[in-house]
Structure 1
Amino acid sequence: MVRDYPARGAAPPGLSGWKLAVVLLVVQGVGAQKVRVEEELEAYPTESIDLRCMFIDGGSSTKLTQVSWIWEPVDGQRDNIAVFHPMYGQSFPNPAFKERVVFLHNDLRNPSIKIKDLRMSDAGRYTCEYATYPTGNEQGTTTLVMLAKPKNSAKAETVRAGSRSVVVARCEALDGKPAATIKWLASVGGNHSTSTTNGPYGTVTVRSEYRLVPTAADNGREVTCMVEQKTQERPWTQILKLSVEYPPTVSIEGYDNNWYVGRADAVLFCLANANPAPNVTWTSASGSLPNNVEVDDNKLTVRKVDDAVNTTFICEVRNKHGASRHQLTTFVIEALEDPSSAGVVAGAVIGSLLALLLVATLVAVLLTRGRRQQGRGFPSSGDSLATGSSGGSNGADYGNKARLLFGGGGGGKNGSGANNNGPVYTYREGCDATGTLTEKPNNFHHHHLHHASAGDPPTAHDILLCSDVGEAERRKFQLDDSMEEEEEQYDRFVGGGGNMLPPAYHPHRAHGGEAQMDVYLDDDMESQRDGSVISRTAIYV
């Protein structure tokens, strides 16, 4: 018996509305489980993509007749692009896909396809639909999303400084899918606005403008456009330098207030601040520049300063937005000194200082030496050495003391006419049995003097050798092996004429022993008013 059912869409007898809804969901779920597909795929133009489909009903009661792929670019439009029949084979009814679609497997239960050379127009829903018996059609749907990388660009607009807000930079992302997002990074205090435009196949173009009130100080400052979009691995950025044009301002620099006559290569610079760069013109108060002046763009050079450049220089700059000028008056002065002699003067001063330092060093050395030589003389122990001419006192009692006498052979009352090269008289008592006054000649180097006879009186060296002279008294006489300095002093004494006083005597011990002892003049002697010389170290009673 056949039951009569109400028209399509009406609920069967005995089923309420909510019960019917549950039945439909169960049937739809069972159908979805039989045909397995991917829910959504993303792809880019010119690429290839695989659309997978598989019938998974394990029962043998369902018979598969054929499978078809249906493309829905928009709602309500269905185009069959590929069909597979176990007996009749493959078919591609849509010409737009005929050369680009292929079945991956020649199997009714796995009718997956590949679409090559994708286009933005290929976006839409692709349904894998089975014709089965006895349950009817079974299907699964995959949504293909075509993505498009935007074409990004940014640029700065050339504007003129003013008082109103204008667009100074633009940034855009063309034909992106999905739509891109544009951000600005800047420190100039402006603002931005963004607009979008829909393109074909779901693409979107996004544009953004950056605006501010431009000033001369904003020229060259930086703003950054940043574009973010799904197809980009990282945000796209571009740094822009603002271009703000303004009329010029100018100044002249380089003058040092030291333009003296004869100075070479004095330079002035005309410094202009403008955008675009201005043209520079140099003139003077008289109109034309002096002959000794050369101009190279903003640089003015005076080859040699003279009275002709004692004038006012004028620098004028001009661009398309305006002009500006500045002037500078230069004063030429007389040269006080040749700058080239500065090195010579400095050298002379340094040389003088070094010479003074050398002289001071020599003086200090001589003074130190003089003090040391004075320290070599020893004061007598209450005794003094008497010297004189032949008219001196006779018969004095000297005891065991030695008396060293210097005098001339024919001396007068005051010792005038005394022979400076006269003999040396010493009195020896205790060492000589006679105890008489003997004479020993002066043996000066480099001169032939008169030698005394064998009976000459004892020398100062003999006195030193006397056992009666103490060790302290012997130390008063300096014994030195070198005679070079004494010989030079003697040469000066002999060559100075007969009126010069002889230098002091000092006994010196030669390398050959006591027999080679020489008597030498030293500053130990002290000249007297009568012309005689007395040793400060002599001892008498």
Structure 2
Amino acid sequence: MDSVIELFSLSSLWLVISTGAYADSGVTIYMLESVTGYEEQKVILPCQLTTSLTDLVVVDVTWKKSGATLNLAVYSPAHGTHYPAEPNSSRISFKHPTVNDATLVITNASRNDTGIYVCRWSTFPKGTISRETALEILDIMPRTNRQLIILAVIFIVLLLGLMLLTEIFVKRKKERVEAAERDASGLEMDECHRELVYASLNLDGQKATRNGPSEENIDSEAVVYGVVKHQLRSFFFFVCKLQRGVEAFVRASGISAASEASIVPVSMDNKDCFFHFKMTLVIWISSACIALLSVTCGKNVTVDESLSALVGTEVLLPCQVVNNSTIVQISWTKANQNKSLAVYSPQYGISYSNKLYSGRIAFRNHSRKDGSILINASELQDEGNYSCQLTLFPVGIQSKAISLTILAIPSNNATPIPTEAGVSEVPVATCTSANGKPAASIMWISNLPGNQTSNQTKNEDGTLTVTSQYKIAPNSSNNGQTVMCVISHLATNSTDTFTVELSILYRPEVTITGYDGKWSERDITLNCVAKANPPATNYSWQGLPEGLQSEHADLLIEKVNSLMNGTWACEATNIIGTGRAEVVIRLQEKGANSADAPGGLNTLHIVIIAAVILCVVVIALILMLMKRERRMKETSVHLDDFSSQTQVEQRTVYASLNLNRLLNASAQREHFHDEERTVYADIKYNQS
């Protein structure tokens, strides 16, 4: 059964060899993109290298399963083979290891063998070249399927053997057939009918029923050959016709040149047609086997270390050997580039083949323990993922991935944006971080309510420019206020802070100073004060009396008189607009403010009058209080006298108030007001 699987794997390889190849400047690796196997069966993973370079040397071939720590198999032309993952097992082995063939064989496969397998070739001076194949191990092949495959293989083998015997027989009788053909009538027919003409001969000695040669022109031996040939070639006639149909279908459907080239021209003879049928049969059987392979090939990259450097500086990419393995070769590659950057072999020396790093890359020590490289004057294009391939024996190829990031320090600045005052939100300040890598981060700090917007642009050299604007609804009070822009960048690991003074454009806001209502007789100055951005450039006074005029902000009045009464105005203008202010002037003749003037009351008079009125009110209150106090004293004296007169006869009595008497007594006492005030009640009492 293993031989059956191996046969299908090898047949499939030649069919897909054109699609599973990796080419790099004269070096080609042939592999299957995917392979399907079954548990407890043998699996073959082909990996072959061809090259047109005469100076290319293969120093090592390593197989490794993606995600595994140890390599599966290592082949070195100088040291032989080794199997680090299973050193004491014969389950994994090279089929026939050479400098051009590293095909791997896995016997007694299991589901754990499913995965991505990487075949890496260490070459000098090209460096490491690798390809991947996806292996899927299915459950144990069903018994029915295995039986069918065995029967199919037996049938094919028998068929091929039968064809081979026929070829041998044909070769021995070829000369006699050619002689018989020369005697024939020379009928022209296609290759598929050519020999069947003689198969219709009558063995009883009758003449041919078709257009073949007569009985007299063919000896008995030729007749016997013709009958035998008919019996053996009856199937071939069908096959030859089938071949012609296949050939026509292939040409009509536009199959690849590799498959079409395997079909021989129509003008071939019977022997070529028969051989071509055998090859075509193998190819189509192989195609059926390949149609069963369905494994998705994935790639898994592990980054062991991340580095960053400023553009223009020197960068060290470390790669050192930490064990006692023998170094066969060290090579550096960069992702997405076909050529190796640098290759060091203790046997063959050093090679730098990548022109992008010409003169800028070198091994630091290129010793058996250190494969670190230096990149001088780093450029932005140097950013990417680098891989150090250490080819060791017996360990095999060990890889170390390094991610390199190139940083560029940006140029930063912040400026105000002159903006007219209004109700809409507009940009008033801008902050820019140009030509940096990666992009800078910008934030605003302000007491003014507003919002910020940011925009990022990628430059041709790969750097980034970030522009941020701060927006508010500006008014005149915002002019001269400040906002802060803070720029942070990874390259400097710090922040830059810029203070921006806002420039809000607005028309003049005008006020007139210098008039307080107490002008002296002469040399008075009025000032037209205009607050504006930009400053006012033109002033004009309006409503002035005759003889007064000015084209400046200041108005000088040499002599003051009442004829100047009125409303004066000043207008100031800038590029935004015009502002206006007014002042009302009220002046009187000399002496109009004197205290003797009729009807003329000044503030002093009002204060004096108010003070006199206040004093009168206070004196009146004092007199009223004194009079009340005197009355209260008189009442107290009367009560004391009454109390002293009744003290001798004082006793405890029960008294009742005679209200009728009180009413009468009140009527009789109307003429005695002074005494009535001292009498409080008449008491009637009975003495016991």
TM-score by length of 1: 0.50
Q: Partner residue of 2:507?
A: 247
The separation in 1 between residues aligned to 2:563 and 2:341, in whole angstroms, is 96
TM-aligned CA deviation for residue 46 of structure 1: 1.0
Q: Partner residue of 2:44?
A: 7
Higher share in strand: 1
The separation in 2 between residues aligned to 1:17 and 1:195, in whole angstroms, is 53
The separation in 2 between residues aligned to 1:280 and 1:335, in whole angstroms, is 37
Checking the alignment, whether the CA contact within 8 Å between 1:81 and 1:98 is kept in structure 2 is no
Q: Does 1:17 align with 2:275?
A: no
Instruction: Give the AA of the match of 2:496.
Output: W
Q: Partner residue of 1:398?
A: none
Q: Runs of 5+ in structure 1 lacking a partner? A: 25-36, 337-541
Q: Does 1:142 align with 2:402?
A: yes
Q: Partner residue of 2:362?
A: 102
TM-aligned CA deviation for residue 134 of structure 1: 5.3
The separation in 2 between residues aligned to 1:213 and 1:22, in whole angstroms, is 62
3-state SS of 2:499 partner: strand
Q: Does 1:318 align with 2:573?
A: yes
TM-aligned CA deviation for residue 190 of structure 1: 1.5
Instruction: Give the AA of the match of 1:13.
Output: T
1:289-438 to structure 2, matched below 5 A, reads 290=548, 297-302=552-557, 313-328=568-583, 330=585
3-state SS of 2:112 partner: helix
Cα deviation per residue 1:15-45 (whole Å; 9 max; x = unaligned)? 4233566999xxxxxxxxxxxx961111010
TM-score by length of 2: 0.40
Return the match for 2:308 from 42, 46, 57: 42
The separation in 2 between residues aligned to 1:117 and 1:289, in whole angstroms, is 81
The separation in 2 between residues aligned to 1:226 and 1:298, in whole angstroms, is 42
Checking the alignment, whether the CA contact within 8 Å between 1:312 and 1:330 is kept in structure 2 is yes
Return the match for 1:126 from 386, 396, 400: 386
Q: Partner residue of 2:350?
A: 90
Q: Does 1:276 align with 2:534?
A: yes
Instruction: Give the AA of the match of 1:275.
Output: N
1:148-187 to structure 2, matched below 5 A, reads 148-187=408-447
Checking the alignment, whether the CA contact within 8 Å between 2:541 and 2:550 is kept in structure 1 is no
Instruction: Give the AA of the match of 1:197.
Output: T
Q: Does 1:229 align with 2:229?
A: no
TM-aligned CA deviation for residue 183 of structure 1: 1.8
The separation in 2 between residues aligned to 1:130 and 1:326, in whole angstroms, is 88
The separation in 2 between residues aligned to 1:308 and 1:99, in whole angstroms, is 95
Q: Partner residue of 1:197?
A: 457
Cα deviation per residue 1:166-205 (whole Å; 9 max; x = unaligned)? 2222223334333322222222221223333344576443
Checking the alignment, whether the CA contact within 8 Å between 2:561 and 2:589 is kept in structure 1 is no
The separation in 2 between residues aligned to 1:289 and 1:227, in whole angstroms, is 62
Q: Partner residue of 1:69?
A: 332
TM-aligned CA deviation for residue 121 of structure 1: 0.9
Q: 1:246–1:229: structure 2 CA closer, same or farther, 3 Å change rule?
A: same
Measured on the aligned residues, the alpha-carbon RMSD in Å equals 3.5
Larger radius of gyration: 1
TM-aligned CA deviation for residue 47 of structure 1: 0.8
3-state SS of 2:381 partner: helix
The separation in 1 between residues aligned to 2:510 and 2:484, in whole angstroms, is 32
Q: 1:287–1:120: structure 2 CA closer, same or farther, 3 Å change rule?
A: farther
Checking the alignment, whether the CA contact within 8 Å between 1:245 and 1:275 is kept in structure 2 is yes
3-state SS of 2:313 partner: coil
Instruction: Give the AA of the match of 1:273.
Output: K
The separation in 2 between residues aligned to 1:276 and 1:212, in whole angstroms, is 20
Aligned length: 312
Instruction: Give the AA of the match of 2:106.
Output: P
Q: Runs of 5+ in structure 2 lacking a partner? A: 7-41, 47-103, 119-302, 592-688
Cα deviation per residue 1:228-285 (whole Å; 9 max; x = unaligned)? 2322333222222222222223121012323333x4x422211112222112424453
The separation in 2 between residues aligned to 1:180 and 1:235, in whole angstroms, is 10
| Identity rate, percent | 30
TM-aligned CA deviation for residue 117 of structure 1: 0.7
The separation in 1 between residues aligned to 2:469 and 2:367, in whole angstroms, is 57
